[in-house]
Structure 1
Amino acid sequence: MHTDTERCVRAVRSKDARFDGWFFTAVLTTRIYCRPSCPVVPPKVENMTFYPSAAACQQAGFRACKRCRPDTTPGSPEWNARADSVARAMRLIRDGVVDREGVPGLAARLGYSTRQIERQLLAELGAGPLALARAQRAQTARVLIETTGLPMAEVAFAAGFSSIRTFNDTVREVFALAPGDLRTRAARSTTAPPQTPGVIALRLPYRAPLDPSNLFGHLVATAVPGVEEWRDGAYRRTLRLPHGHGVVALTPRPDHIACRLSLTDPRDLTIAISRCRWMLDLDADPVAVDDQLRTDPLLAPLVDKAPGRRVPRTVDAAEFAVRAVLGQQVSTAAARTHAGRLVLAHGETVEDPEGGLTHLFPSSEALAALDPESLALPRSRRTTLTTLVGALADGSLRLGVDSDWDQARAELTALPGFGPWTVETIAMRALGDPDAFLPGDLGVRHAAAGLGLPVTPAALTARAAAWRPWRAYAVQHLWATGDHPVNRLPA
């Protein structure tokens, strides 16, 4: 979009927040870059230039606006709607892969050379993987500076910087303030979130509108005891992270999601935020989704009733695949019971002073070592589960934000006991495919019958061609027609 100057100028002049994250406005006279909805008086057209990413702005020598804080905008929805190499690379960078494995690790995960990945990212985003990761480190550093009392040296290494000097230089260059000045400025702010020792409190922005009912309702209604809970108006769960573990509490607010993170290692902050945003689908473009679904006259009333529905996802694709198998042909309560037993028997214990969480969900390696006879499941389901966890543990099946959606579907279908419902459920909620579709799902078929839509899978799939590429969101609207706890916020 950044190449369409006329359209960008119109968005800046109207201060349209829907375009935040789609592009960034750099002002040639002040050398400052802003989000499109920046509240200041728009500059002259001849003084504006547009970039596709904050990293590209920083690489061109612009610093972040102190008023609109463009580094805190929602991410571009484009990376969630695509499955090509650039989109997968962006999801991996957001997940901290460059900081942990470097550019060669990023390229290896995608099956390309480092030169190919750098060339593709430069062509589309105006910045290479190192610059993109640097911009993310700068934002992580700002969060730690403003919301914790950690010494600056600890902030630098927790944010992923290799030296304190690089940390200081980057913060000054990007934010035009020294790290200490950033902390002082935040302490004077009346809008700063309350601080609790050991807890990082921050806001997760999103594009309005957002309907939290099915989003949090689904997560809470299917919550695994000990791993997830609803407490004091917040969805809480444990997180397995590269350097340790954590506990997150997510509370829906009118204009943001309040996030409280307790981490055993602050180096996991970036990936924890990324996974929470992914789970809540916060980088979606609800206006584009709803406008497309409204073109079907039978879906339009559902969209108008609850605009901004999101797809509830997961923080761990492998975990969700296991839970999808446990949920085959059983009730939500039975699936929770099966998962709870696995957690008690094979999950790692954690401490949660603020709530009742007790375990991390078991790793694939731990589940691969279990005795199949200990599972209170039908024999065929045991085979399905043990085959799945064996493939996840030995690396022959890899599920994550970098998965190629079509390839992952093919690999899952090849496993015993994986039918279309299980495969599409995993594609929708674990892999994040916005076009995943479940025409054979009982709830979808009941909703379709009630609306006058076709009910056979083939006929419904044909009708749903007009909903593409947002069929996963249409499924959320169809499910929401039923009276089930997954469709409403808990009391």
Structure 2
Amino acid sequence: MHTDTERCVRAVQSKDARFDGWFFTAVLTTRIYCRPSCPVVPPKVANMTFYPSAAACQQAGFRACKRCRPDTSPGSPEWNARADAVARAMRLIGDGVVDREGVPGLAARLGYSTRQIERQLLAELGAGPLALARAQRAQTARLLIETTPLPMADVAFAAGFSSVRTFNDTVREVFALSPGELRSRRGKQPRTPGAISLRLPFRAPLNPTNLFGHLAATAVPGVEEWRDGAYRRTLSLPYGHGIATLTPWPDHIGCLLSLTDLRDLTIAISRCRRLLDLDADPVAIDDQLRTDPLLAPLVDKAPGRRVPRTTDAAEFAVRAVLGQQVSTAAARTHAARLVTAHGTPVDDPAGGLTHLFPDPDRLAALDPESLALPRSRRTTLTTLVSSLADGSLRLDIDSDWDQARSRLMALPGFGPWTVEVIAMRALGDPDAFLATDLGVRRAARELGLPSTPAAFTARAAAWRPWRAYAVQYLWATDDHPINNLPA
């Protein structure tokens, strides 16, 4: 979008927050870059230039605006709506792969050479993987500086910098303030001992009912809970584990993170944003769905529905199998038994979370006879976890969606419903479609849409590429707990 100068200028002059994260405005006279909705008086058009990423602005020598804090804007919705190499690379960078494995590790995961990946990212984002990771480290450092009392040396290494000197230089270059000045500028902030409190921005509107209602209604005891108006869950992270507490507010999501290792902060934030689908562009999605006169009333009634996703794709795949042809309550019971028997215990002084969900390696070693499931379901589950454990099936944020579907369909016991619900919630495909889901088909009949899966799928082609969001609107016609915020 940054190449459409006229459209970008209109967005900046109207201070349109819908475009925050889509592009950044760099001001040639001040050498500062801003988000489109920056509250200051817009500069002259001749002094504006536009970049596709904060990293590109920084690489071109611009500093972040101290007023609108562009580094804290929502992420581009493109990276979760596309499945090409650049989008997959951006999801991996957001998950901290470059910091942990370097650019060669990023390239290896994508099946490209480092030169190919750098060339593609530079062409589309104006910055290579190292610059993009550096911008992310700077944002993490700012969060730690402003929300924790950690010594600056600890902040530097927790944010992923190799030295305190590099940390100091980067903070000064990006924010035009020293780390100490950045901390004092924010003043004293209320803090929860041992936790990091921050706000997760999103593009309005956001309808929290189905989003948090779904997560709360399907919560696995010990791993997830709804407590005091917030969804809480345990997180398995590269350097340790954590607990996330996510609270819906009108203009942001409150996020409280308790981590055993602060190096996991960036990854934890990325996974929470992905869980709540916070980088979606609800205006573009809803505008497309409104073109269908049968769907338009549902969208107009409660716009801004998101797709509730997951923090761990393998975990969700296991839970999808446990939920085949049983009630929500039964699926929770089966999952809770697995967690109690095979999950890693954690301590949660603030609530009732007790375990991490067991990973595929641990589940692959269990005795199938110990599972209180029909024999066919046991086979489905054990085959799934074995495939995940040996790497023959990958359900990662960089997975090829079509390839993952094909490999899932090849497993025993996997049909269209299970594959598509995993594609929608675990892989993040915005066009995943549950044509065989009973709730979706019931809603379709009530609206006058075709009832057979083939005819329904053909009719839903007009909703592409946002059919996963259409599913949320169809589900919402039912008075099920997943569609309501808990008391």
Partners of 1:480 and 1:242 lie apart in 2 by 36
2:451 maps to which residue? 455
Q: Does 1:443 align with 2:410?
A: no
SS of the residue corresponding to residue 79 of structure 1 reads helix
Q: Does 1:325 align with 2:321?
A: yes
Partners of 1:67 and 1:268 lie apart in 2 by 28
Offset of residue 197 of structure 1: 1.4
Offset of residue 248 of structure 1: 0.5
Partners of 1:402 and 1:157 lie apart in 2 by 26
Partners of 1:159 and 1:416 lie apart in 2 by 43
Partners of 1:398 and 1:178 lie apart in 2 by 42
Kindly provide the CA deviation profile for residues 62-95 of structure 1, in whole angstroms up to 9, marking residues without a partner as x.
0000000000000000111100000000000000
Partners of 1:279 and 1:397 lie apart in 2 by 21
2:16 maps to which residue? 16
Counterpart of 1:182 in structure 2: which amino acid?
A: L
1:209 maps to which residue? 205
Kindly provide the CA deviation profile for residues 425-461 of structure 1, in whole angstroms up to 9, marking residues without a partner as x.
0000000000000111000010001111111101111
1:179 maps to which residue? 179
Counterpart of 2:288 in structure 1: which amino acid?
A: Q
1:229 maps to which residue? 225
Q: Does 1:414 align with 2:410?
A: yes
Q: Does 1:259 align with 2:255?
A: yes
Counterpart of 2:215 in structure 1: which amino acid?
A: L
1:131 maps to which residue? 131
SS of the residue corresponding to residue 344 of structure 2 reads coil
SS of the residue corresponding to residue 187 of structure 2 reads helix
2:5 maps to which residue? 5
Counterpart of 1:37 in structure 2: which amino acid?
A: S
Q: Does 1:465 align with 2:465?
A: no
SS of the residue corresponding to residue 250 of structure 1 reads strand
Offset of residue 119 of structure 1: 0.2
Partners of 1:463 and 1:306 lie apart in 2 by 22
Partners of 2:136 and 2:40 lie apart in 1 by 25
Offset of residue 400 of structure 1: 1.3
1:62 maps to which residue? 62
Q: Does 1:306 align with 2:307?
A: no
Q: Does 1:88 align with 2:91?
A: no
Q: Does 1:364 align with 2:360?
A: yes
Q: Does 1:158 align with 2:158?
A: yes
Count residues with an aligned counterpart: 487
State how 1:93-112 maps to structure 2 within 5 Å.
93-112=93-112
Partners of 1:387 and 1:249 lie apart in 2 by 33
Offset of residue 18 of structure 1: 0.3
Offset of residue 34 of structure 1: 0.1
Counterpart of 2:176 in structure 1: which amino acid?
A: A
SS of the residue corresponding to residue 260 of structure 1 reads strand
RMSD of Structure 2 on Structure 1 (CA): 0.5
User: Which of residues 242, 265, 270 is equivalent to 1:269?
Assistant: 265
1:169 maps to which residue? 169
Kindly provide the CA deviation profile for residues 397-441 of structure 1, in whole angstroms up to 9, marking residues without a partner as x.
111110110010011111111100000000000000000001110
Partners of 1:394 and 1:154 lie apart in 2 by 36
2:38 maps to which residue? 38
Partners of 2:341 and 2:193 lie apart in 1 by 32
User: Which of residues 414, 420, 423 is equivalent to 1:424?
Assistant: 420
2:288 maps to which residue? 292
Counterpart of 1:445 in structure 2: which amino acid?
A: R
Q: TM-score, normalised by structure 2?
A: 1.00
SS of the residue corresponding to residue 242 of structure 2 reads strand
Offset of residue 268 of structure 1: 0.2
Kindly provide the CA deviation profile for residues 122-141 of structure 1, in whole angstroms up to 9, marking residues without a partner as x.
00000000000000000000
Counterpart of 2:21 in structure 1: which amino acid?
A: G
SS of the residue corresponding to residue 246 of structure 2 reads strand
Structure 1 unaligned blocks of 5 or more: none
Counterpart of 1:478 in structure 2: which amino acid?
A: L
SS of the residue corresponding to residue 430 of structure 1 reads helix
SS of the residue corresponding to residue 240 of structure 1 reads strand
Offset of residue 28 of structure 1: 0.4
1:239 maps to which residue? 235
Kindly provide the CA deviation profile for residues 358-402 of structure 1, in whole angstroms up to 9, marking residues without a partner as x.
000001110000000000001110000001000111111111110
Structure 2 unaligned blocks of 5 or more: none
SS of the residue corresponding to residue 356 of structure 2 reads coil
Partners of 1:14 and 1:370 lie apart in 2 by 59
Counterpart of 2:134 in structure 1: which amino acid?
A: R
State how 1:112-151 maps to structure 2 within 5 Å.
112-151=112-151
1:195 maps to which residue? 191
2:341 maps to which residue? 345
Counterpart of 1:399 in structure 2: which amino acid?
A: L
Offset of residue 111 of structure 1: 0.4
Moved over 2 A (4+): none
Partners of 2:161 and 2:130 lie apart in 1 by 12
Partners of 1:140 and 1:246 lie apart in 2 by 16
1:484 maps to which residue? 480
Partners of 1:299 and 1:41 lie apart in 2 by 40
Partners of 2:87 and 2:221 lie apart in 1 by 34
1:76 maps to which residue? 76
State how 1:368-383 maps to structure 2 within 5 Å.
368-383=364-379
SS of the residue corresponding to residue 427 of structure 2 reads coil
Counterpart of 2:180 in structure 1: which amino acid?
A: G
